Amino acid sequence: MNRFKPSRPHRISTVLGSAIALGTLLATGPGIPAAGLPRATGASSTYPSNCPWMDTRKSPDQRAKLLLARSTLGQKLRWLDEQSANSPTQTTFGGVTYPVQVPCTPTVVYADGPDYVRGPVGVTVFPAQLALAAAWSDDLAYVKGKTQADEAFRAGKNVLLAPGVSSSRTPLAGRTPEYLGEDSLLSGNLAAAQTNGIQRGNPKQPVMAVLKHYIANEQELDRQTNSSNMDGRTLREVYDLPFAITVSKSAPGGVMCSFNQVNGVWACENQIQNTLLKGEAGFDGYIVSDFGSVHSTGPSLVGGLDQELNRPRFYTPANIEAALDAGQVTTAQIDAAALRVVRAYLTAGLFDHPLPTVPSTSTSTAANKAVAQAVAERGSVLLKNDGSVLPLAGRGKKVAVIGQTASNTPTGGVSAGTVCAEGRGTSVACPNPVAPLDAITARATPAGQTISYDSGADPAAAASVARDADVAVVFGYAKQGEFADRATLALDGNGDNLIAAVAAANPNTIVVLETGTATTMPWLANVKGVVQAWYPGDQQGTALARLLYGDADFTGRLPMTFPKSLSDTPTNTPAQYPGTFADGSTTRPAGSTAIRQVSYSEGLKVGYKWYDSQGIEPLFPFGYGLSYTSFAYQNLRVTPHLKSARGTVTVTFDVRNTGARTGTATPQLYLTLPSATGEPGKRLVGYDQATLRPGQSSRVQLTIDAASPDHPLGFWNTTKHAWDAAAGGYQVQVGASSRDLPLTGSFTVS
């Protein structure tokens, strides 16, 4: 289902506040068609006579062909390496010399940035991408991408290596927080919206997006020496699908291939780049490697890799010319790769709008910080609220705030900056966020409340502070990021024992979790409230205080399943994770460069589909989240039945606010295919959001479009080698999460 309807600013205006002119931010919203980016505006059609490719009246494809027609082979080869492509006035890179580039080519600067613009100082540190996913809002993802691109351009960067999608097959994966959850539709839609924001949000400050990491890049352990092994149906339905959705709905300029092998072939030289990404998905941008993920020259170029990241190593002129002489590659393949890169740069506007001469060292503005705050608020998920322990209302109340990450003052090297963003726990990127302790204190004082604080370094001392309070808010954290997977789903820093001690001392204990993945909660039955805040960015305190005190409602919903234990997850055998070597061992032999073989034998049973198909009760299901109000779902209508697996099915229903305050519902639509397809349980095929006053009802309409790139009715037919659909009955379910679906209907395909 295509969720990219015209923007609905009223649904996020209360979150973003008056600091942002929403009409400006959403001037170009997610509803833009995906048939390529609009040509850059504001650039003159007057151009130097020796640079006909600067004629903006021509299409990007025409301009790229004009440039390459004037280029020597050596000049074409410059486009196949990042450094030589992006620094046109330089000729030597890492000891490799190129000819001078043709004139009128731009300086291009890449920056990593799935969550925020990494590298420059003075930027806004947005919450983790998983928090954005938990907001379930295409509109907010677009605004976040637009805001991030604004900061990138002013900081002197015009390509963002972002966003990223994955399938979160194991919650231990180190980069889980920089992806968008376990569901293909949700992550694909949000990545597309963010990409549209990056590439379309600021036409006079163009920034290009590079979607990553293609493909089956699901663990950090041995990421450069493992093979993701799976059948073709699993590859398409689970791991390729979010990329295909993003490409179809946003046309990113680039896609980055990953480190790992796929079925024994390196991702960056794997023919699936041609057959699936450029072929079936219709991607017409260029493929760039991750740093160090190239292992060959000829096979990589033939396999679809267009550009090598960083300095030339395999894509040097000497190597490519040798491959050409040996018949491994053709001039047509070289020309095609160069064309893809140049065309993508032209399409994005990089030729027509130069970067600022002097990059800004302070790009974060009040409006941009408000977007970060909005993501932190909308992405925080209320998991438990027994006895309405939240909001923290009542004059004269004594509130104990406990935990190292609540304060900007480090304890044992851990502070609020430690959990600001994904990483290995340093606060370098976020040295002075709005600390929760400061924001809670500022909010509590006018309410006549008193705040006490303890770092929690000594659980006994923390329990003593908690015992003297009316309510205790205790923070738990877990570090996570690139280069290493987690070994456990327990909290870091003795966090589980700290929470247990505080809960034993105070019956009104609220837990705030600042983590990048699911965690087990052995203390869950003994606390009144649980808030999942993820890595909440540099506006974390402001957002959290508003939520805890009820100035904002909790609207976040889980984008991934929380298991009760690690053994409940889909990857519960050594062969599935971490993968094995030839002798069956999971431990790499000393000095060995052998490829770790990772079996994706769970197949299609990833995320909530695993728990549903196995009958395993999760700790908290996919799509789950509480609010300060309540909602009822009624009056389902499904029309029509289909004569064939084409056309659309309309699903309408009422959502009513049955509580005492305004809140936002996130209705979710799931579809179960006929059993003959062999699909494991239901799949998400639509979602929406509705902000309702007490007693207010809204009629919601969702459309299941059989022709949508997410293939809502489809399965990969391994006999036909094509997407297919089955005749029979399709069950429709609507509700508040994957396990709370009160409305049930059906339609048939005949």
For residue 483, how many C-alpha atoms fall within 13 Å in the half-sphere facing its CB? 6
Burial of 731 (0-12, 13-18, 19+ CB in 10 A): middle
Q: Is the peptide bond before 215 cis (omega within 30 degrees of 0)?
A: yes
Place of tokens 């679906």: 741
Alpha helices, H only, 178-258? 184-200, 232-234, 241-250
Cα 15 to Cα 543: distance, rounded to the nearest angstrom: 10
Cα 31 to Cα 4: distance, rounded to the nearest angstrom: 5
Among candidates 402, 563, 561, which has minimal Cα distance to 488? 563
Amino acid residing at 237: E
DSSP for 116-127 reads S--SSSS---PP
Cα 580 to Cα 596: distance, rounded to the nearest angstrom: 6
Residue 192 neighbours by CB under 8 Å, 6+ apart: 4, 30, 34, 138, 245, 246, 248, 249, 250
Lookup: tokens for 17: 């506040």
Tell me if residue 567 falls in helix, strand or coil.
helix
740 is catalytic: no
Tell me if residue 623 falls in helix, strand or coil.
coil
Tell me if residue 724 falls in helix, strand or coil.
strand
Q: Can you say how many angstroms the Cα of residue 575 is from the centroid of all Cα atoms in its chain?
A: 27
Among 139, 240, 290, 485, the one annotated catalytic: 290
Amino acid residing at 14: T
Amino acid residing at 139: D
Cα 314 to Cα 710: distance, rounded to the nearest angstrom: 36
Among candidates 467, 451, 523, which has minimal Cα distance to 491? 523
DSSP for 532-547 reads E--S--TTHHHHHHHH
DSSP for 160-200 reads EE--B----SSTT-TTGGGS--S-HHHHHHHHHHHHHHHHH
Residue 682 neighbours by CB under 8 Å, 6+ apart: 609, 612, 670, 671, 672, 731, 733, 738
- The answer to whether 730 touches 749, Cβ cutoff 8 Å, is yes
Burial of 675 (0-12, 13-18, 19+ CB in 10 A): exposed
Lookup: tokens for 29: 């919203």
Cα 173 to Cα 597: distance, rounded to the nearest angstrom: 16
Cα 609 to Cα 612: distance, rounded to the nearest angstrom: 5
Lookup: tokens for 286: 């260029």
Tell me if residue 627 falls in helix, strand or coil.
coil
Among candidates 26, 27, 29, 31, which has minimal Cα distance to 4? 31
- The answer to whether 575 touches 170, Cβ cutoff 8 Å, is no
Active site residues: 290
